[in-house]
Amino acid sequence: MKLRRLPPLHALEAFEVAARELSFRKAAEALHLTPSAVSHQIKGLEDFLGFALFRRMNRALELTEGGRDYLRVTQAGLDSLREGSQQARQRYGRHTTLKISAGPFIASEIIVPALPSFQQEYPHIELNIETTLHPVDLRREDMDIALRFGSGHWPGTTAKRLLTVRAVPVCSPAMAEKLRRCTPLDVGDISLIHSTPLPEGWNMWADLSGAKLGKPKGDLWLDSYFAILRAAEQGVGLALGLLPMVNPWLRSQRVVMPWPELQVEIPQGYYLVHRPADESRAEVQAFCAWLTDLLNTDAAIPV
């Protein structure tokens, strides 16, 4: 019996990502390829199928009707292959590897310094930590756990809240000296450092604390929490410190709290997110328990 040919797996993955992003450039970044390589792979897949998957317009892509139908086939096949491969690796692999996606700040400032304790307690679990500012799609990408800051609602996933988060203004020690002459209930014209992933952060803090924000004057917007704290450390302005995550910087006095009494609990939190099917995996449970304990120890209490 003659076997039916299969399309190349790497081309299917390139098609799936390009269809999700509607951009060869963004797909190339996600796959660590060049845009021309992605375009070449998809052209080869279109030649194999005998029809166009995309309408290529000026600076834009659009799925054809055939592309939309074939995307459903591709996603179902790849999802099944990913899940089956993961189960086989867990059952028959010599070592258990846990792939974790985390923001640069929580990875470098919280997790990495404490890794020796995890390795001592769970020597059979190998951790593969990838840092990114962009949330990964656990339903599509080869990742077991994602650590995220947000509302806790991400479709198709199980999210476990790790801890309650409080917000408090932080700045450099030199700026804190100047702010002692100011009232914390009227932030006034002090430059604020904003987070683009949490644009409502300062207004939310003001509403909860009763403080009054002045008109923006020299405010700065950054998308990385590490960059936000670095800017505050350098005296650029006031940043919102998220307790207890910012505690390592408070202890070393890289930043300080000019008004420590103005701590407010915020609705958003840090979550450990995984696929529902991974709920019973021993290594997922182990990492979740270890990280929860780490974040809720006495060392996490504000100084």
pLDDT digits (tens, 9 = 90+) for 250-266: 999 999 999 888 899 98
* Span 283-295, average pLDDT: 91
pLDDT of residue 94: 53
Q: Which two tokens stand for residue 229?
A: 């704290």
Radius of gyration from C-alpha coordinates of the chain: 23
Burial class of residue 56 in the structure, from the number of CB atoms within 10 Å of its CB (0-12 exposed, 13-18 middle, 19+ buried): exposed
pLDDT of residue 299: 47
Confidence of residue 50 (pLDDT cuts 50, 70, 90): very high
Number of C-beta neighbours around residue 52 at 10 A: 15
* Span 273-298, average pLDDT: 87
Residue 103 contacts residue 147 (beta carbons within 8 Å): yes
Confidence of residue 171 (pLDDT cuts 50, 70, 90): very high
Q: Which two tokens stand for residue 120?
A: 């001592």
Q: Is residue 271 over pLDDT 80?
A: yes
CA distances from 237 to 64, 202, 229 (A): 49, 13, 10
Q: Is residue 9 over pLDDT 60?
A: yes
Instruction: Name the residue with tokens 């702010």.
Output: 179
Which residues are 147's β-sheet partners? Answer: 272
Q: What percent of the chain has pLDDT over 70?
A: 91
- Angle, helix 9-21 to helix 24-31, in steps of 10 degrees: 130
If DSSP codes are grouped into helix, strand and coil, which group holds residue 122? coil
**Could you tell me the pTM of the whole model?**
0.66
Which residue segments constitute the domains of the chain, with CATH numbers given? 9-89 (1.10.10.10), 95-162+269-300 (3.40.190.10), 166-265 (3.40.190.10)
pLDDT digits (tens, 9 = 90+) for 85-144: 767 766 665 558 899 999 999 999 899 999 999 999 888 899 999 998 888 888 778 889
* Span 27-37, average pLDDT: 87
Q: What percent of the chain has pLDDT over 90?
A: 45
Q: Is residue 300 over pLDDT 60?
A: no
pLDDT digits (tens, 9 = 90+) for 190-230: 789 999 888 889 999 988 888 877 776 778 999 889 999 99
How crowded is the C-beta side of 179, counted as CA atoms within 13 Å? Answer: 24
Best CA proximity match to 105, nearest among 237, 287, 233: 233
Which residues are 24's β-sheet partners? Answer: none
* Span 151-177, average pLDDT: 90
